[in-house]
Chains A and B, each alone.
Chain A
Amino acid sequence: MSEKKLPFERPIIKKLNVNVPNKFGLKTEYDPITSIDGVMVKDLIKEFGSPLYVISERTIRDTYREAKRAFSTRYPKVQFAWSYKTNYMNAVCNVFHQEGSWAEVVSGFEYDKAIANGVQGQHIIFNGPDKTEKDLEKAIKNGSLIHIDHFDELYTIAELAEKMEQKPKVSIRVNMDTGIYPMWTRFGFNYENGEAWEALNRILLNKKLELVGLHAHIGTYIMVPWAYGLAAKKLADLAVGVQTKFNHTIKYIDLGGGFASKNTLKGAFSPGTDTCPTFDAYAEAISTAIISSAILPDHMPILILETGRALIDDAGSLLGSVIAIKRLADGRRSLVIDIGVNLLFTSFWYEHKVTPAQPFTHYTEDSVIYGPLCMNIDVIRENISFPLLNKGEHVVISRIGAYNMTQWMQFITLRPNIVMIDMDGKPHVIRKAEQNESLTSHEITPDYLKKINV
């Protein structure tokens, strides 16, 4: 009997505001995301639970190859180094390493992860302000590329070189004005005030260190490719200065990460899919700047890129389920889902794309999407015109591959499974859901507090 009935949709009424721009955005003219790389969302949730992180191996490889092509068709020697902090799930790192990426790390923890993944020491770039003496010793022994952040570190490395009787391979990180705001000056040595040039002089006069490269990371989500052109030009000028004064050839120029992804920044006027520059645009600006610099053709350095978010954001999705549908006092719809800001750190920066995982009609409601945490900050989308979902139905949050699986917070709930869908469409759990013991096993309750009576 029920086969003959029509599908029930919640009744809704919506006021039409003639000529008033709608802050909730345009009508939903998109399709549901029912599957990822051929695997049904509902099957993934059934097998691996909700919420669930899903990574597409195919998207990682496709994106990487697109970036690699953009640069290597314009510049003779290009090397990517996977930025571990962006996503250091070992399976993710190893997809990049299989594609030929080196590793870029910023802590002893990340360094050891890269070694354990099988990356050769000389293919690890060690960045960041906090490298302990133990970290540095290890990196020197393994011939890793140490990017010096400050003078204290420079002198520590020089002392270790003497003690270990080994010549560490070093670069300096350079910060500079490239016309973008905010200007990051807290990392490395400044270009404009001559500090970077002074650091290079000390390294080359010292002779205990081998200067191999020059590094800059001008910021993140940089929407203007020409800023990279300026950065490349300034590093090239330093390389020419070193060549002229010391007859020393710089092996590589490393322009860091920072390319924008297609996510939409909060408060942005247009969606990120419309405004994000292509890899070709970044590659054109950087290659042109280095090739047209005063560096001699025989001395053309390797171009290293530590691209993070632009290579992994698209490959990650977060699947979840509707917990409740409420009505706020001001009439707006409130949708409570099982994905909170603890799992989606990037919801503080982005207006993430949230899509139902099952077919819906074109009717929408002005909605707020909340996470499940009993905390006011737990908002996934503030204003969204959203189709009419029911309790238990599923949503897909797209482009979450960068920074969420590393900056997530262990807060109120446990972290769920992460699966990677391989090139044949087969899902693999690459990080198991946490259990209470995953956390409580690190706690120690003093004996006198073990007995309670409530």
Chain B
Amino acid sequence: MKIKKNIAISDNGFIFDSNTGDTYSLNPVGTEILLLLKEGKQLPEIQKAILEKYDSDNATFEKAYLDFISMIRQYHLTEE
């Protein structure tokens, strides 16, 4: 899964889609995941990075990650 090129992500959790003019806000975990996706990272690497920093477990993270990805798709922020 790839994030569209025209999506700008700021470190403080704002997204701007220059094609549509839409803006979005993210919480800190959401921001980190999106930045990693933008770098082209995939689930295993992202999971490792987040669980090293945040207090959670694999099952909790995976549920939350899948839910988050579904929203990114719904907002058409991904290619494909």
- A: which residues have CB within 8 A of B? 2, 5-16, 18, 325, 327, 331, 361, 363, 388, 390
Listed A/B pairs (14) with beta-carbon separation below 8 Å: A7-B54, A7-B55, A8-B60, A9-B29, A11-B29, A11-B65, A13-B25, A14-B24, A14-B25, A15-B24, A16-B23, A16-B25, A327-B70, A388-B27
For B34, the chain A residues whose CB sits under 8 A away are: 13
- Chain A contact surface mostly: loop
Residue in B30, B55, B75 whose beta carbon sits within 8 Å of that of A11 in the complex: B30
For A6, the chain B residues whose CB sits under 8 A away are: 53-55
- Bound-complex Cα distance A12 to B65 (A): 9
Q: How far is the CB of A130 from chain B (nearest CB, A)?
A: 53
Contact A13-B71, Cβ < 8 Å, known A5-B54, A8-B60: yes
Check B43 for interface membership: any CB of A closer than 8 A. no
Check B64 for interface membership: any CB of A closer than 8 A. yes
- Bound-complex Cα distance A325 to B60 (A): 11
For A325, the chain B residues whose CB sits under 8 A away are: 67
Name, among B15, B50, B55, B65, the residue most crowded by chain A CB atoms within 10 Å (CB to CB).
Answer: B55
- Bound-complex Cα distance A130 to B29 (A): 61
Q: Are B54 and A13 in contact (CB under 8 A)?
A: no
- Bound-complex Cα distance A14 to B13 (A): 10
For B71, give the chain A residue with the smallest CB separation: A13
Q: Are A9 and B28 in contact (CB under 8 A)?
A: yes
For A331, give the chain B residue with the smallest CB separation: B74
By Cβ-Cβ distance, the 6 closest A-B pairs, closest first, are A11-B30, A8-B56, A5-B55, A8-B54, A363-B27, A11-B68
Q: Are B68 and A13 in contact (CB under 8 A)?
A: yes
- Bound-complex Cα distance A363 to B53 (A): 20
Cβ proximity bits B19-56 to A, threshold 8 Å, 1 near / 0 not: 00011111111101110000000000000001001111
Apart from A8-B50, A13-B34, what 12 extra A-B contacts exist at CB < 8 Å? A5-B53, A5-B55, A9-B28, A10-B64, A13-B24, A13-B30, A13-B71, A14-B25, A14-B26, A327-B71, A331-B74, A363-B27
Q: How far is the CB of B49 from chain A (nearest CB, A)?
A: 12
For A9, the chain B residues whose CB sits under 8 A away are: 27-29
For A388, the chain B residues whose CB sits under 8 A away are: 27
Residue in A10, A12, A15, A331 whose beta carbon sits within 8 Å of that of B22 in the complex: A15
For B53, the chain A residues whose CB sits under 8 A away are: 5-6
Contact A13-B67, Cβ < 8 Å, known A6-B53, A8-B55: no
Check B8 for interface membership: any CB of A closer than 8 A. no
Count residues of B near A (Cβ-Cβ below 8 Å).
29
For B1, the chain A residues whose CB sits under 8 A away are: none
For B54, the chain A residues whose CB sits under 8 A away are: 5-8
Residue in B64, B65, B75 whose beta carbon sits within 8 Å of that of A13 in the complex: B75
Residue in A8, A16, A331 whose beta carbon sits within 8 Å of that of B71 in the complex: A331
Q: How far is the CB of A393 from chain B (nearest CB, A)?
A: 12
For A16, give the chain B residue with the smallest CB separation: B23
- Bound-complex Cα distance A146 to B23 (A): 66
- Bound-complex Cα distance A15 to B67 (A): 16
Name, among A8, A325, A327, A390, the residue most crowded by chain B CB atoms within 10 Å (CB to CB).
Answer: A8
- Bound-complex Cα distance A15 to B60 (A): 24
Q: How far is the CB of B69 from chain A (nearest CB, A)?
A: 9
For B27, the chain A residues whose CB sits under 8 A away are: 9, 11-12, 361, 363, 388
Contact A15-B55, Cβ < 8 Å, known A327-B67, A363-B27: no
Q: Are A11 and B70 in contact (CB under 8 A)?
A: no
- Bound-complex Cα distance A390 to B28 (A): 17
- Bound-complex Cα distance A150 to B15 (A): 68
For A11, give the chain B residue with the smallest CB separation: B30
For A363, the chain B residues whose CB sits under 8 A away are: 27
Q: How far is the CB of B52 from chain A (nearest CB, A)?
A: 8
Q: Are B29 and A13 in contact (CB under 8 A)?
A: no
Residue in B24, B32, B67 whose beta carbon sits within 8 Å of that of A10 in the complex: B67
- Bound-complex Cα distance A388 to B27 (A): 10
Q: Are B29 and A10 in contact (CB under 8 A)?
A: yes
- Bound-complex Cα distance A390 to B27 (A): 15
- Bound-complex Cα distance A157 to B72 (A): 72
For B74, the chain A residues whose CB sits under 8 A away are: 331
